[in-house]
């Protein structure tokens, strides 16, 4: 593989130098090195040609890796790297070598990553030559700081995918043609050393190329799901644009068709106006607001008391201070959370806690409830649309019960289409928010960090303080309230929970609580806006085409249609554009069906 990559790179530069087509592997294998490199003085130092190498196998991960050139000040490599990492659908692997100088925010690789992924959400950090590191928790090594997420050596830049140290094949091992299996074995032995085990315990995960492969495939899968949602959104916008043009520029039909068009147009306009009014100041906007409230109150409310302690009078929970009024059934007391922490703590290494499993336990419960709430919201939303439609059709078609029934039936199919599309979107959102916790990182990361710090201080303060007892107040003859000073009493919590356990409990209360609050806000906003847009945008725009098709107005005999079109529409350019847009719309529909199959898989 090393020879293949090397020779392929040379052939790419040779072809860019105008010296003919790329030679085959069999040709190169028969040549001496001098023959292969004949006229290499004419080869450019860098080329835009891309070398593609496909590696297939039953156990190979399913993603593409783009091996970019190093940055050395030359414009071509800089542009190649920029073109790749600037694309939001790509993940960025930021590689630093422990065998070179400490990285800084001035390094070109770091600057490019920060420029095109300032929040670090698409970036995962890799530290090569881990065998050259001193794996100590106390020596202050910059690279160890990266792994522990301590210090600020890159100007506040932190890859959301974390840092992963590797021990890859060295130059000497490549020369001796040491197998990858042997290299993997050496790497496993390195990370099995006690100092490395201590670091892995602190970080909460294992190191090595195998773990990095799984992490990359996990991040890639999340990115694919995210990209599918973005593609579908873009696809929907393109289809809407074509629909709008075709509705505004309909074909000319016969007089009977024109009569129906008058009815169709009036129904469409009146329904659109009713829906817009309801979305601004009526039931539709109230339903969206209620959805956000219902989801945002379905979050865990952590309490700095045990289940047996009475909540102190006047205590204001952190959830309420942030405007979240949670049901009492969602209160989680400190001893309950501590029990869960102990459940996921390693018996061999008490410092090793499966934080991901703790978070996932809350995540699974509440995301399921959000999904159920959103699904019920969609049912109620479209019931409201049905009411508005019935009002409009009675006004427009009241004199013809048969016509009223036809309009209701045809638009019922359109409603089912958009309702089912919304339910599929909600299911995609459920899958996304059921992903591993580290995959979901809010864009407002700095604000989340601040809220976590505030929440942590809140819980730690209340966990450590004694219970305050205020004696009953009495009234003087002048009706002035006289209160005795408050006194404190020891807490059972302090006897059952050590200082270290209280700190650990406060840390998890803050982390899980703030993350679940931020996800509830995001989920309710995304789902609510999408459900509303299907009604106010897509549905209202498709009323006319749906009724025309449902009433058979698109089934006029072609010869009659053409003659009528020639009489009433002499603009051939518009005719060609109509045909082009109709064909494009059919293609987009096919793409949409394909994406639905991918999503279902």
**C-alpha to C-alpha distance for 107 and 127, rounded to whole angstroms:** 15
Residue-averaged pLDDT of the chain: 79
- Three-state secondary-structure class, residue 116: helix
Residue 176 has pLDDT above 50, yes or no: yes
Rounded to 5 degrees, φ, ψ at 7 are -65, -40
DSSP H helices in 44-107:
75-85
Predicted TM-score (pTM) above 0.85: no
Percent residues over pLDDT 90 in the chain: 14
Q: Residue 190 has which token pair?
A: 């390195």
pLDDT tens for each residue of 129-170: 888 888 887 766 788 888 888 877 787 888 988 899 999 888
Mean pLDDT in residue range 55-82: 68
258 or 423, which is more confident?
423
List beta partners, residue 439: none
- Three-state secondary-structure class, residue 1: coil
Rounded to 5 degrees, φ, ψ at 234 are -65, -40
Report yes or no on 290 lying in a domain.
yes
Give the CA distances from residue 141 to residues 105, 154, 155, 161, in Å, rounded to whole numbers and listed in that order: 17, 14, 17, 21
Rounded to the nearest 5 degrees, what angle is found at the Cα of 575, between the Cα atoms of 571 and 579? 170
pLDDT band of 482, cuts 50, 70, 90: very low
Report yes or no on 161 lying in a domain.
no
pLDDT band of 575, cuts 50, 70, 90: confident
Q: Which residues does 183 contact at the CB level (< 8 Å), separation at least 6?
A: 167, 168, 169, 173
Domain final residue pick, 36, 53, 70: 53
Report yes or no on 422 lying in a domain.
yes
Percent residues over pLDDT 70 in the chain: 80
Residue 477 has pLDDT above 60, yes or no: no
Characterize the bridge pairing of strands 474-475 and 481-482.
Answer: antiparallel
Rg for the chain, CA atoms, rounded? 32
Backbone dihedral region for residue 449 (phi beyond 0: left; psi -120 to 50: alpha; all else: beta): alpha
- Rounded to the nearest angstrom, the gap between the alpha carbon of residue 352 and the centroid of all alpha carbons in its chain is 28
The range of the structural domain enclosing residue 17 comes to 1-53
User: Read out DSSP for 17-31?
Assistant: TTS-SPPPHHHHHTS
Report yes or no on 120 lying in a domain.
no
Cβ-based neighbour number of residue 254 at 10 Å:
14
Predicted pLDDT at 170 = 84
Domain final residue pick, 53, 71, 93: 53
> How many separate domains does the chain show?
2
Report yes or no on 6 lying in a domain.
yes
Report yes or no on 344 lying in a domain.
yes
Mean pLDDT in residue range 433-448: 64
Report yes or no on 212 lying in a domain.
no
Q: Closest Cα to residue 397, out of 381, 412, 408?
A: 408
pLDDT tens for each residue of 71-108: 655 666 778 788 888 888 889 998 888 877 777 777 88
Report yes or no on 87 lying in a domain.
no
**C-alpha to C-alpha distance for 279 and 381, rounded to whole angstroms:** 11
Q: Residue 148 has which token pair?
A: 């522990």
């Amino acid at each position: 593989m090393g020879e293949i990559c090397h020779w392929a790179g040379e052939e790419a530069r040779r072809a860019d130098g105008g010296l003919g087509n790329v030679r085959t592997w069999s040709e190169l294998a028969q040549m001496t090195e001098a023959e292969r490199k004949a006229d290499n003085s004419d080869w450019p130092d860098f080329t835009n040609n891309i070398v593609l190498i496909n590696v297939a196998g039953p156990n190979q991960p399913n993603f593409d890796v783009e091996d970019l050139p190093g940055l050395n000040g030359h414009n071509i490599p800089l542009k190649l790297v920029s073109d790749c990492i600037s694309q939001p659908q790509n993940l960025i692997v930021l590689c630093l070598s422990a065998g070179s100088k400490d990285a800084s925010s001035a390094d070109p690789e770091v600057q490019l990553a920060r420029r095109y992924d300032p929040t670090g959400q698409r970036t995962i950090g890799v530290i090569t030559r881990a065998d050259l590191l001193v794996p100590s928790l106390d020596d202050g090594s910059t690279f160890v700081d990266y792994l522990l997420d301590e210090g600020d050596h890159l100007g506040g830049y932190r890859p959301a995918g974390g840092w992963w140290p590797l021990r890859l094949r060295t130059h000497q091992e490549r020369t001796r043609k040491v197998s990858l299996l042997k290299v993997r074995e050496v790497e496993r032995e390195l990370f099995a050393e006690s100092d490395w085990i201590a670091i892995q315990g602190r970080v909460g995960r294992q190191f090595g190329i195998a773990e990095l492969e799984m992490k990359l495939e996990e991040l890639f899968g999340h990115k694919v799901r995210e990209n599918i949602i973005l593609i579908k959104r873009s696809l929907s916008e393109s289809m809407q644009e074509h629909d709008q043009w075709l509705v505004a520029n309909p074909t000319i039909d016969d007089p009977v068709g024109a009569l129906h068009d008058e009815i169709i147009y009036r129904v469409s306009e009146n329904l659109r106006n009713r829906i817009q009014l309801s979305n601004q100041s009526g039931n539709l906007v109230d339903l969206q607001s209620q959805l956000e409230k219902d989801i945002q109150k379905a979050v865990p409310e952590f309490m700095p008391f045990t289940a047996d302690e009475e909540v102190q009078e006047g205590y204001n929970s952190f959830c309420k201070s942030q405007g979240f009024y949670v049901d009492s059934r969602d209160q989680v007391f400190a001893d309950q959370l501590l029990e869960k922490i102990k459940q996921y703590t390693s018996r061999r290494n008490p410092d090793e806690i499966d934080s991901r499993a703790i978070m996932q336990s809350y995540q699974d419960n509440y995301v399921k409830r959000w999904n159920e709430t959103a699904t019920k919201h969609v049912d109620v939303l479209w019931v409201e649309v049905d009411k508005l439609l019935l009002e409009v059709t009675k006004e427009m078609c009241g004199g013809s019960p048969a016509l009223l029934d036809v309009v209701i039936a045809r638009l019922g199919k359109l409603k089912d289409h958009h309702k089912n599309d919304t339910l599929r979107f909600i299911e995609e959102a459920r899958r996304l928010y059921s992903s591993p916790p580290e995959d979901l990182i809010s864009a407002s990361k700095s604000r989340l960090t601040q809220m976590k710090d505030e929440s942590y201080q809140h819980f730690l303060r209340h966990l450590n303080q004694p219970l305050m007892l205020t004696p009953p107040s009495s009234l003087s003859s002048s009706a002035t309230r006289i209160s005795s000073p408050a006194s404190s009493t020891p807490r059972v919590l302090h006897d059952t929970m050590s200082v270290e356990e209280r700190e650990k409990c406060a840390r998890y209360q803050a982390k899980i609580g703030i993350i679940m609050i931020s996800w509830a806000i995001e989920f309710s906003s995304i789902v609510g806006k999408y459900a509303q847009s299907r009604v106010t945008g897509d549905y209202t725009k498709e009323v006319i085409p749906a009724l025309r098709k449902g009433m058979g107005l698109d089934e006029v005999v072609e010869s009659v249609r053409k003659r009528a079109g020639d009489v009433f529409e002499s603009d051939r350019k518009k005719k060609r554009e109509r045909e082009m847009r109709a064909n494009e719309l059919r293609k987009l529909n096919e793409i949409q069906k394909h994406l639905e199959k991918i999503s279902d898989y």
